[in-house]
Chains A and B, each alone.
Chain A
Amino acid sequence: MTKIENNRAWWLVLPVFLMVAFNALLPLMTVVNYSVQETFGNNEFFWSGTTWFQQLLHDDQFHDSLKRQIVFTAVILAIEIPLGLAIALCMPRSGRWVSVCLVLLALPLLVPWNVVGSMWNIMALPDIGLLGKGLNALGIPYNYTRQPISAWFTVVLMDVWHWTSLVVLLCYAGLVAIPDAYYQAAKVDGAKPWAVFRYIQLPKLKHVLTIAILLRFMDSFMIYTEVIVLTGGGPGSTTKFLSIDLVQKALGGFDLGPAAAFSIVYFLIILFLSWLFYTLMMREEAK
């Protein structure tokens, strides 16, 4: 078959392109603008080339928060994806318990992020909080404002509580979409539960899992509100993730140039890693 080239179709894409330009590309350009200039206020700018980028790449504080960020995202992905999948597999497929489960699961997703931070902040207080007082009563020394391990534990637990539901809902939707004939065929073929999971459910969930991983990766890599409310990046700077570092630089120090360079590098890291995840997970498809 010969393919008919019709370039007029591009006009149909134009409205979307304009919208993207206004809400993404143009604001980004102002950041690019700042990142190559120096200002001392009074709206005066001086060209500074790649100075801010070079400075950032040799900035130990940036390296530390990047490392913390990567560890945090890796930890929550390693917990939330398998846990979400497991919960989705255990959920009922029909009956009235389905809606009960779905509503209960959706609740954490509906709580505003700063409220999530406050909730966990209060719950984890060692002297009055349920979690804090409970752990200490069990003889486990716990104080998230003083011990880095406690702080990390609380931040990770909070994120798991807040976002595992998203993974569950995505996986559940994927599971429900698998036609019954697959399970019936597996029964007839004598497949054991593990084989059903490995050869039917997992392959059929590939696309939703890719979406779940990408969403959770991007969101957790940009986490800010919950952590700033809960720990403020402390104790010390043990829970200071990239976004907290960035805000401190941009607003705290009012270093527009370095902060803009930071933003661009931050954006590029997320873009690159998202691309990497997507390519790795879709690699099989191309064969």
Chain B
Amino acid sequence: MAEIRIENLRHSYMANPRGEDDYALKRLSLTWQDGGAYALLGPSGCGKTTLLNLISGLLTPTVGTISFNGRDVSRASPEERNIAQVFQFPVIYDTMTVYDNLAFPLRNRGVPEPDIKSRVGEIAEMLELTKTLSKRASGLTADGKQKISLGRGLVRSDVNVIMFDEPLTVIDPHLKWQLRSKLKELHLKTKRTMIYVTHDQTEALTFADQVVVMNLGEVVQSGTPVELFEKPQHTFVGHFIGSPGMNVLPCEVRGGQALYGGQAVATGNAPAASGKGRVELGVRPEFVSVAASGIPADVVRVSDAGRYRIVEARSHGHTIKLLLKEGDRVPEGKTFLAFDPSHTQVYEDGWMAGSRR
């Protein structure tokens, strides 16, 4: 187990990268604590798998360093780094039994057979594979096979980190939930550092204590699920996390006051805004409510999403979405909207005004 520190990491798949666009991973510095559960979240092609493969040693970084517990491993092989990785598609050794599959990483490292036996037994118990141990691995279903890959990751007691690269892609929906809770349970039980890569926000937010959101080869925000939800550092995070995503409305900032359609709107960070560039107001549908006065709007559509209703309203030529709980009065026609000031932020060129940039 180890603390993972990533400093100024950049990676390009080209031999001689010229411009910024040639980098799949632009510039990245992160520190991950020992024993944490982390998720890398982002759309397809944002560089999250690249980052994962750099950490596991399947790729060597173009620039920058990765260290485990202060030891630089940037150029070490996956074997030297002592990590485990579970891939998108279940990788099993077809000709071996489930037992031999689980024992494979230990046998390769010359662990004595009695130790292997007890260790494999323990892991099989955890993953509910005990009954199938003597069966051939190729005969199992997709989720059974993915459990084997998972088991091969867990079987070594000394791995520095276990990485998951969208491990639930090929699993049936009703088993996804089951395996996800299994993973969470395993993390609590084993206290290993785990990194989970996904483009599914539900998977990321339920699994991880800390979520790193990536876009276009850069980290956009790193924080707890609550932080990502309540204080998105970038409008991208606002859009990407939450369903429906955050409302982003063009606005002006004058004298430390945000103005939307000429009307003053109370926000958490307007005084910090410089008023330059593209200025926008961000508020999540959860924090918009119907009020007796405020921002005038026309209700366009109300759709039922089960536990709540999504109301779409037009105001000053923009669409604002809000959520109504079951039993709330459904507005019709002309109405007024209010934004919760502590959850309304000003963004400049996409970034939250007054944040680190």
Whether the Cβ atoms of A188 and B83 lie closer than 8 Å is yes
Q: Bound state CA distance, A225 and B77, in angstroms?
A: 53
- Is B85 among interface residues, defined by CB-CB distance under 8 A? yes
Q: Bound state CA distance, A203 and B138, in angstroms?
A: 11
**Chain A neighbourhood of B83, CB < 8 A:** 188
A-B CB contacts (within 8 Å), total count: 53
Whether the Cβ atoms of B85 and A188 lie closer than 8 Å is yes
Measured between C-beta atoms, what is the minimum distance from A174 to chain B in Å? Answer: 14
Whether the Cβ atoms of B93 and A200 lie closer than 8 Å is yes
Whether the Cβ atoms of A199 and B78 lie closer than 8 Å is no
Contacting chain B: which of A9-17, A24-32, A67-75, A176-184? A176-184
What residue in chain A is nearest B86 (Cβ atoms)? A185
> Of A179, A182, A191, A284, which is within 8 A of B108 by CB?
A191
Q: What per-residue 1/0 map shows which CB atoms of B24-64 lie under 8 Å from chain A?
A: 00000000000000000000000000000100111000000
Whether the Cβ atoms of A192 and B108 lie closer than 8 Å is yes
What residue in chain A is nearest B139 (Cβ atoms)? A287
A203 and B87 contact, Cβ closer than 8 Å, known pairs A185-B149, A187-B79: no
What residue in chain B is nearest A287 (Cβ atoms)? B136
Measured between C-beta atoms, what is the minimum distance from B66 to chain A in Å? Answer: 16
Q: Bound state CA distance, A181 and B57, in angstroms?
A: 14
Whether the Cβ atoms of A187 and B58 lie closer than 8 Å is yes
- The A-contacting residues of B in range 70-129, CB under 8 angstroms, are 77-79, 83-85, 87-89, 91, 93-96, 104-105, 108-109
Whether the Cβ atoms of B93 and A188 lie closer than 8 Å is no
- Is B192 among interface residues, defined by CB-CB distance under 8 A? no
**Chain A neighbourhood of B53, CB < 8 A:** 184
Whether the Cβ atoms of A190 and B105 lie closer than 8 Å is yes
> Of A188, A192, A203, which is within 8 A of B78 by CB?
A188
Measured between C-beta atoms, what is the minimum distance from A199 to chain B in Å? Answer: 5
Whether the Cβ atoms of B104 and A189 lie closer than 8 Å is yes
**Chain A neighbourhood of B87, CB < 8 A:** 181, 184-185
- Is A157 among interface residues, defined by CB-CB distance under 8 A? no
Whether the Cβ atoms of A184 and B85 lie closer than 8 Å is yes
Q: What per-residue 1/0 map shows which CB atoms of A64-97 lie under 8 Å from chain B?
A: 0000000000000000000000000000000000
Binding site for B on A (CB under 8 A): 179, 181-182, 184-185, 187-192, 195, 199-200, 203-204, 284, 287
Question: With A181-B89, A185-B149, A189-B104 given, can you name 19 additional A-B contacts, CB distance below 8 Å?
Answer: A181-B87, A184-B78, A184-B85, A184-B91, A185-B91, A187-B57, A187-B77, A187-B78, A188-B56, A188-B58, A188-B78, A188-B105, A189-B108, A191-B108, A192-B108, A195-B108, A199-B93, A199-B95, A199-B96
